[in-house]
Structure 1
């Protein structure tokens, strides 16, 4: 059985984690499959947006704990395999392609970290979301300590990380991060609609905006605004902006 399913819907490429018997827990093989498929999407001129979803009952339940236990019992260090996951999540976050996460069932620990790396997150309203690491005496290794405070705010992130509690997606704690919550039956239709909206705006400006957001997120305000102006200048010089402005103003005159 393929551990990752790939489907093209117009300009939107769906990547579905396919280990339903393990709630799509991340092992080395799945991480490598997702990394490879994501790279193929980035290199395909016909793909403007990537959706990451899960087959079966859950989006992703995190790292495969059986794999981690095997590593421990063999006396090996798990950091190498965890580094691969962390690098993949950073690749998703900084890719020129917009990435949408479609959450249902559970998004826990590494599953939450995967979703945190995406640009837009839509969840079924009954999905359960949380960090969960501390309940198994684990620490995050896929970016949660960095991204969760930035997405939710410092105190909500501390609560989730220090308790390990799972909350339904409709909880107000997630309101500033989730694009929307919808009935489970409507999830994939809602995700495709948003992905197509993102695809309609595809182009050099969108790619640079995503790059800019990644650059300025951790900068002080003065440095961030300076980086913004520098990126504007680079984009202006490299892209026929005047043609786009001319077309926009012409269309307005014709209305």
Structure 2
């Protein structure tokens, strides 16, 4: 398993746990963290096939990711800031497109870039002490790592505008109510809950999950007619896999499937 200066990797069961490991800065997205996230994705996309899901969390008890590294940003000019934002766009798009589910286990502050990292994940599980927000307007800025795109898609335009325009922070219970978080659990149970979901997913066809995720990502920007075409292609592609052959045969033969994973 690869080693990183700002990230810690561990595995439990079918899941790989990625911990952003900069607690002194509340796990802020420094240039070093962003570079390591890119390196992690390069590694996972080529060698991570043994894992059936990824869980992203933050080191320490206070913060998932507190946001961008404002000290570094303060030294940037506009072109450097653009490059920083585009690099994070690439990271979040790659996270969103991984062929396995990605769960954000939000254990504290998920503000600015932290909320945007969480939004790029398939599910958000939050500890009871977690909080979310896009507070960039307090710095005279706007979301730059995908928040103005993904937040409205997750919770709707009106609520997203209210959070972005006010810079307001919300607690995990409110995040659950508005559909930003999937679950809220005691902090001590957060990783175990995410692991349980990964194991539930690990029991089904890996190719079907990958097919479904690819199609859902593609559909995000499409109208219903175009999205239905994507779904039809995904259904046809799934039908040709050995997983589908085994799954259908097992159903007919009234036995549990043994998915080959291809």
TM-score with structure 1 setting the length: 0.92
CA displacement at 1:17 relative to structure 2: 0.3
Specify which of 52, 72, 88 is matched with residue 48 of structure 1. Answer: 52
For each residue in 1:97-141, what CA deviation from the matched residue of structure 2 results, as whole angstroms up to 9, or x when unmatched? 110000021000100000000001100122111111111111111
Specify which of 23, 46, 69 is matched with residue 74 of structure 2. Answer: 69
Secondary structure, in 3 states, of the residue corresponding to 1:251? coil
- Counterpart contact for 1:126–1:184, Cα < 8 Å: yes
Specify which of 162, 165, 171 is matched with residue 162 of structure 1. Answer: 165
User: Using a 3 Å threshold, how does the CA distance of structure 1 residues 83 and 174 change in structure 2: closer, same or farther?
Assistant: farther
User: Using a 3 Å threshold, how does the CA distance of structure 1 residues 218 and 174 change in structure 2: closer, same or farther?
Assistant: farther
CA displacement at 1:195 relative to structure 2: 2.0
For each residue in 1:67-124, what CA deviation from the matched residue of structure 2 results, as whole angstroms up to 9, or x when unmatched? 001224xx76311122111100010011111100000210001000000000011001
Which residue of structure 2 aligns with residue 36 of structure 1? Answer: 39
CA displacement at 1:39 relative to structure 2: 3.0
User: Using a 3 Å threshold, how does the CA distance of structure 1 residues 76 and 245 change in structure 2: closer, same or farther?
Assistant: closer
Q: Distance in 1 between matches of 2:198 and 2:152?
A: 25
The answer for unaligned runs of 5 or more in structure 2 is: 257-262
For each residue in 1:202-255, what CA deviation from the matched residue of structure 2 results, as whole angstroms up to 9, or x when unmatched? 5111101000001112211111112211221223234452332111232359xx
Please identify runs of 4+ aligned residues in structure 1 that moved more than 4 A. none
Q: Distance in 1 between matches of 2:200 and 2:245?
A: 24
1:1-255 to structure 2, matched below 5 A, reads: 2-42=5-45, 43-56=47-60, 57-72=62-77, 77-171=80-174, 174-239=177-242, 241-251=244-254
Which residue of structure 1 aligns with residue 260 of structure 2? Answer: none
User: Using a 3 Å threshold, how does the CA distance of structure 1 residues 248 and 131 change in structure 2: closer, same or farther?
Assistant: same
The answer for unaligned runs of 5 or more in structure 1 is: none
- Number of aligned pairs? 251
User: Using a 3 Å threshold, how does the CA distance of structure 1 residues 177 and 201 change in structure 2: closer, same or farther?
Assistant: farther
Over aligned residue pairs, what C-alpha RMSD do you find?
Answer: 1.9
Secondary structure, in 3 states, of the residue corresponding to 2:105? strand
